[in-house]
Amino acid sequence: MSFVCRVSIASLLIVIINCPDIASQPTISTNNLASIVIADSSRRQAVTVLLHNVNGEHLGSGVLVAAPAGGRWIVSNRHVVAGEATICVVTAKGANQPALVLPEQKKSHQALDLALIWLPTSPPEEAVVAEITDQSNISEMLPMVVATGYPAELSSPAKGSQYSERSGLLVPLLKQPLQEGLDLAYTATVEKGMSGGGVFIGSALIGINSAHRDPLWPGQWKDFEGKEVEPVLHNKLHIVSLGLSTATIMGAIKMSQPPGDKEIQQLSTFNCRKIDHLETKGSRKDAHTSSLTEKTGN
Partner 1 sequence: MPAVHAAPAARGFVCNSGQSVPSTNAVKADGGQVPVIRWTSNTFDAAGWSPERRCQEVSNRFNIYLQQGRLAYITTGRINNLPVICTAAKNGGPCDGLLFTLKPGQDATATLQNLLEIRVKARGPLNESNGRLYVSIDDLMTSAQANVSDVRSPSLTDSTSQPTSTLW
Binding marks (x or -) toward partner 1, 37..66, rule CB under 8 A?
A: ----------------x-xxxxxx------
**Binding residue for partner 1, selected from 26, 218, 260, 297, defined by CB under 8 A:** 218
Cα–Cα dist 45/63, whole Å: 9
Query: Max alpha carbon distance in the chain (Å)?
Result: 59
Using rule CB under 8 A, residue 195 touches partner 1: yes
- At residue 121, φ and ψ (nearest 5 deg) are -135, 155
Task: For residue 65, give the H/E element and its range.
Answer: strand 58-66
**Binding residue for partner 1, selected from 220, 257, 268, 298, defined by CB under 8 A:** 220
Pure H helices in 127-259 = 231-237, 246-254
Using rule CB under 8 A, residue 238 touches partner 1: yes
**Looking at 4-12, 73-81, 123-131, 250-258, which segment touches partner 1 (CB under 8 A)?**
73-81
Q: Shortest CA distance to 243 belongs to which of 63, 57, 71, 105?
A: 63
**Binding residue for partner 1, selected from 87, 174, 190, 205, defined by CB under 8 A:** 190
**Binding residue for partner 1, selected from 127, 239, 255, 287, defined by CB under 8 A:** 239
Cα–Cα dist 80/272, whole Å: 18
Q: Shortest CA distance to 117 belongs to which of 155, 157, 62, 60?
A: 62
Using rule CB under 8 A, residue 74 touches partner 1: no
Residue ranges binding partner 1 (CB under 8 A): 53, 55-60, 77, 79-80, 82-83, 113, 149-150, 152, 154-158, 190-195, 209-212, 214-220, 228, 231, 234-235, 238-239, 241
